[in-house]
């Protein structure tokens, strides 16, 4: 398990972020978030290795397949909605989290296309990682 220096455990974090540390693209993106203002209040858990503390409602295969976050409320969120929660927790990204979280008629309609885009990105993630590595961007 890899966590940010402070808080020392996911129990004291505002948000726990579960990510695939075996994916260069994911690792680079999480590295960027870890450097962001407010990241010291988050716990980052690399789920690529055995033994990562995930909680009873999240197994390793599921955590590796999709992006997940868990708040202090213990609510587990995945996909585009998880990115919205992460961005809301980071002051420099909060504007994007607010846009995705806008409610209209009791729904968050912008999450629908964001989730579709996220799902479309999952199968091409290895190709993107290879391409970005070749271009020396990650």
pLDDT for position 7: 42
| Residue bearing tokens 């296309």 | 113
Whether 12 shows a pLDDT value over 80: the answer reads no
pLDDT for position 9: 55
pLDDT for position 6: 37
Mean per-residue pLDDT over the chain, rounded: 90
Confidence grade of residue 129 (pLDDT, cut at 50, 70, 90): confident
Report pLDDT digits (tens) over 32-49.
Answer: 999 999 999 999 999 998
Q: Where are the beta strands (DSSP E) in the chain?
A: 15-19, 42-46, 68-71, 76-78
Task: For residue 120, report the phi and psi dihedrals to the nearest 5 degrees.
Answer: -65, -30
For the chain, give the percent of residues with pLDDT over 70.
Answer: 92
Residues 94 and 102: beta-carbon distance below 8 Å: no
Residues 75 and 82: beta-carbon distance below 8 Å: no
pLDDT for position 112: 95
Q: Could you tell me how many residues make up the chain?
A: 138
3-state secondary structure (DSSP) of residue 17: strand
Count CB-CB contacts under 10 A for residue 26: 20
Tell me what the mean pLDDT of segment 18-23 comes to. 94
Tell me what the mean pLDDT of segment 4-18 comes to. 69
Report pLDDT digits (tens) over 89-99.
Answer: 999 999 999 99
Confidence grade of residue 133 (pLDDT, cut at 50, 70, 90): confident
């Amino acid at each position: 398990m890899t966590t940010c220096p402070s808080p020392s455990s996911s129990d004291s974090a505002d948000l726990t972020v579960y990510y695939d540390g075996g994916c260069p693209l994911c690792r680079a993106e999480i590295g960027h978030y870890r450097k962001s203002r407010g990241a010291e209040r988050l716990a980052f858990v690399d789920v690529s290795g055995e033994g990562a503390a995930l909680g009873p409602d999240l197994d390793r295969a599921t955590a590796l397949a999709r992006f997940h976050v868990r708040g202090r409320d213990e609510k587990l969120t995945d996909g585009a909605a998880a990115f919205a929660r992460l961005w809301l927790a980071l002051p420099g990204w909060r504007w994007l989290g607010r846009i995705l979280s806008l409610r209209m008629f009791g729904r968050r309609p912008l999450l629908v296309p964001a989730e579709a885009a996220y799902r479309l990105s999952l199968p091409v993630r290895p190709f993107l990682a290879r391409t970005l590595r070749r271009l020396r961007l990650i």
